[in-house]
Chain A
Amino acid sequence: MRPLLAAFAALGLSALILAGCKPERPLRASCPAHSLCLEAGNVSEPVSLDPPKTTGTWEDRIMGDTTIGLTQSSAAGRPVPGMATSWDVSPDGLVWTFHLRKALWSDGVPVTANDFVFSLRRLMDPRTASEYAYLLYFIRNAEAVNEGKAPLSALGVAALDDHTLQLTLTHPVPYLPEIGKHQTFYPTPQHVVERWGDAWSRPEHYVSNGPFKLARWAFGDHITVVKNPLFYDARSVCLDQIDYYPTSDAIAAERRVRRGELDTNADIQSNRIAFLRQPDQIPAYVHTHTYLGVAYLAFNSRDVAAFRDRRVRLALDMAIDRDFITRKLLRGGQVPAYTFTPPAVANYQPPPPPVWAGWPIERRQAAARALLAQAGYGPGHPLKIEIKHRNSPDPTLFMPAVQADWKAIGVTATLAQEEVQIAYQDYRLRNFQVGDAAWIADFNDAMSFLGLQQSQTGAQNYGDYDNPTYDALLAKADNEPDLGKRAAYLAKAEAIMLADAPVAPVYFYITKNLVNPNVTGFVDNAVDQHRARYLCFKGHGAAAPSGE
């Protein structure tokens, strides 16, 4: 049969051709001659690069390289001056005056305080329908403006002159420099947005004020940014180009990093971390650090009578063997959680963990059994509950351990899995008994965690925690301009909440990055922000960024 022969011949020929071009170096995306290009795995496809329309870290990783807010992330993720070089705060903490540097947009037009006024008004404009607008409700009249009950001009933001911006707040926000580097505070160029409308964020119109500018967006494939020569500190930027890829499959991304096709990837599949750290694997590539996230269990005390008894909640909380879960199951470096707020949170010291945290597990189990007996549960009258959990890999892995821990104290728990989105919806509707949830802070502050258990939080206060003392302490913290005093109020509130155990924190999240050891300037940090302006390749030194 000739076609068959021809087909085999073609196959053989193509194999030969391919064999002939075995590359010495990895198959990397094309990079202009004499340029340094970073190939970065960005996990997900950005929904938009128009700041008020985004909520994801994968959008911020790109916008944070193209845009500088009032403040910005240092290499270690701490807030340092950005467009604002300095600021003054009124004694009551309600009026902040930011002094802006002279800087240009990437099209050569000066960045002014008016751009910030315009951006913040646009963020709060109900027609923009920004999901993250509520984060800045501390700006005066922001909530009313966002509800459409007040005109945009009522927003507490004003340009005193081209380089002086004034914010008026409803309550003191001593962590403003921290939230000032958040994506909601990124300036958008008024002259460009007014010209193109919502289409301004397309690559052909996009204008930004940061170290890089958008060059190309091949939807679903990659986004390319190139060095912005008009950036105020352009000479300190080492990289010429960055390509960001939506690497939704962490294993495929891991292969590409190993092969050198990608230099970094912002995720590692959890159960691969211990394996990759083995000496014959790629230990030098694996970066982890405590992150601003907590995995916890919530007890539905509204509908489950047993959970209205603090002793029952506490017994279940005590019985969870967090060391086993983090060291034997997750094995990625996750930290057992005995407080709700991670130790890495800025301007805050979580309260000391409960005394039982230091006891051996047998003693904890005995104490838990005693608490259950006091509450009327025991061998004759066992507690039977259902744990609802998300079907993502980590909860699916550790939930059977929780089930076994509770069995050891005589509690029968059944497991029910649900798609992540459905699970959260059920929690909000209180359609659960015990729910497995996780919380990643919106910004680096304890309030972002503790606000969840405030009675006014409503649907997302899954355990329906309602303690007037706790609420009062949080309110007091909200009105306290002094960071130290504020932290003390918050820690006191957290200690009270932990003793009541409306939720059982299990472990703190970690950041998971794969970084080729040839990449320099990558500093692990709790906010998982690694701005490309600090990155370089070995053997290609760049001047240190100024203003650090």
Chain B
Amino acid sequence: MLRFLLRRLLVALPTLFLVVTLAFFMMRAAPGGPFETNRKLPPEVEQNLKAKYGLDRPLGVQYLGYLANVARGDLGPSLKYPDRSVLDIIRQGFPTSLRLGVSALTLGGVLGLCFGVFGALRQNSPADYAITTLAVLGVCIPTFVTGPLLVLVFASWLGWLPTGGLDDVRGYVLPVVVLALPQVAIISRLTRAGMVEAMASNHVRTARARGLPERSVVLNHALRGAVLPLVSYLGPAAAGLITGSLVVERLFTLPGLGKAFVVSALQRDYTVVMGVVILYASLVIGLNLLAEVIQSLLDPRVKLS
């Protein structure tokens, strides 16, 4: 196990390096720049700005300098928010996105698992069809539709919840539900498929033949195998969720990282984009690794190699 982890971490470094390199040059290849707006700056002003952030040096030098800084854990200053470093921006946006993402993932996971197991056990019953239909709807209807609909009903009509902002815990309810809905759908579909397969498998038949109670058969024997595909889905899905969603953050005016990321890409705030890319890539790598470890713990057939 330890050897496996060490080896994967060693592989992760070149992967990260590649991501950073690609992102750096793609960002610079995009037309425009951080100081270009509809106002053309006088050359001396633009020169002052570029000199301040080292953007007047050759691209290769900037790249090497950036790599050296990142290796030291310094993601640089934001080009658009002169008072803030990239770390400041991540530190301020990430907790909100993390809270929202983890809550949505938990809600989606619990509901999705329940629905999935229920559907698989009552295969082709009306309840199963109802859950399947809901799941298909949940996947198909995008958050920018469900979000305003829920706001309309629960905030504008019923007045139970605020339409936006995070002034207290009630502010979290709608964004979390909107983020969780597609997860409920996908997770219930994955669980149902896995459960149907597992219930027909030899080890479940053996368990039943040994006369184990149905509850133990389902929870201890079938479910363990059934959640394997779910675990490999959840790794990258979690990375996406906890780094924030532009749509939900805009819709509910939340101070998360998703909005910061897209806005900085549009404004060509190179350093902020790079910082978020590095964070996201590290999370994807880390969570995928975690998913593999969990899989090996759940299923003895999965070997870490």
Contact = CB atoms under 8 A, between A and B. Distances in A.
B166 A221 contact: yes
A422 interface: yes
A47 B81 contact: yes
B40 A202 contact: no
Given A219-B89, A422-B32, A255 B164 contact: yes
Given A29-B167, A255-B151, A248 B250 contact: yes
A126 interface: yes
A131 B134 CA distance: 53
B165 interface: yes
Contacts of B38: 420, 424, 437-439
B80 interface: yes
Interface in A108-144: 126-131, 133-134, 143
Contacts of A129: 45, 48-49, 51-52
Interface string A42-82: 00000111100101000000000000000000000000000
Interface stretch (B197-205, B254-262, B289-297): B254-262
Interface string A29-48: 11000000000000000011
A49 B83 CA distance: 9
Contacts of B88: 219
Nearest to A249: B250
Give the interface centre of B80, B163, B263 by most chain A CB atoms within 10 Å: B163
Contacts of B162: 27, 256, 259, 261
Contacts of A439: 38
A147 B251 CA distance: 43
A4 B268 CA distance: 47
A460 interface: yes
Contacts of A421: 31-32, 36-37, 266-268
Contacts of A50: 82-83
A23 interface: yes
Give the interface centre of B39, B81, B93 by most chain A CB atoms within 10 Å: B39
A249 B250 CA distance: 6
Interface stretch (B1-9, B62-70, B113-121, B135-143): B113-121
Given A4-B114, A134-B45, A437-B38, A255 B163 contact: yes
Interface in B222-277: 250-256, 259-260, 263, 266-268
A92 B113 CA distance: 82
Nearest to A200: B83
Contact of B259 (A28, A198, A220, A222): A220
Contact of A131 (B49, B81, B93, B259): B49
Nearest to B41: A131
Nearest to B171: A27
Contacts of A148: 48
A543 interface: no
Contacts of A21: 160
Interface residues of B, number: 62
Contact of A22 (B40, B158, B266): B158
Contacts of B31: 421-422, 425
A220 B159 contact: no
B36 A256 contact: no
B59 to A, nearest CB: 18
B84 interface: yes
Contact of B155 (A19, A259, A420): A259
B92 interface: yes
Interface residues of A, number: 66
Interface string B154-177: 011011111111110010010000
A55 B81 CA distance: 12
Contacts of A7: 110-111, 114
A7 B92 CA distance: 33
A219 B92 contact: yes
Contacts of B254: 220-221
Interface in B20-63: 31-32, 35-42, 44-45, 48-49, 51-52
B140 to A, nearest CB: 22
A245 B159 contact: no
A242 to B, nearest CB: 15
Give the interface centre of B38, B52, B151 by most chain A CB atoms within 10 Å: B38
Interface in B110-133: 110-111, 113-115, 117-118, 121
Give the interface centre of A128, A133, A201, A249 by most chain B CB atoms within 10 Å: A249
A357 B190 CA distance: 66
A252 B83 contact: no
Interface string A339-362: 000000000000000000000000
Given A47-B80, A129-B51, A201-B83, A143 B44 contact: yes
A252 B253 contact: yes
A305 interface: no
A48 B83 contact: yes
A19 B166 CA distance: 20
Nearest to B219: A3
A219 B251 contact: no
Contact of B165 (A127, A199, A256, A420): A256
A48 B118 CA distance: 53
Interface in B166-197: 166-167, 170, 173
B82 A53 contact: yes
Nearest to B122: A1
B96 to A, nearest CB: 8
Nearest to A440: B38
A147 B266 CA distance: 29
A458 B111 CA distance: 62
Contacts of B160: 18-19, 21-22
B93 A252 contact: no
Contacts of B111: 7
A261 B37 contact: no
Given A143-B44, A256-B164, A248 B259 contact: yes
Given A48-B83, A219-B89, 19 more contacts: A4-B114, A18-B160, A21-B160, A27-B161, A126-B51, A131-B35, A131-B49, A219-B255, A220-B93, A220-B254, A221-B96, A252-B252, A256-B165, A259-B155, A261-B164, A421-B32, A421-B36, A421-B37, A460-B39
Closest 5 CB pairs of A and B: A220-B255, A221-B255, A219-B92, A129-B48, A27-B162
9 contacts: A1-B118, A4-B115, A49-B83, A201-B83, A202-B83, A256-B162, A261-B162, A261-B164, A458-B40
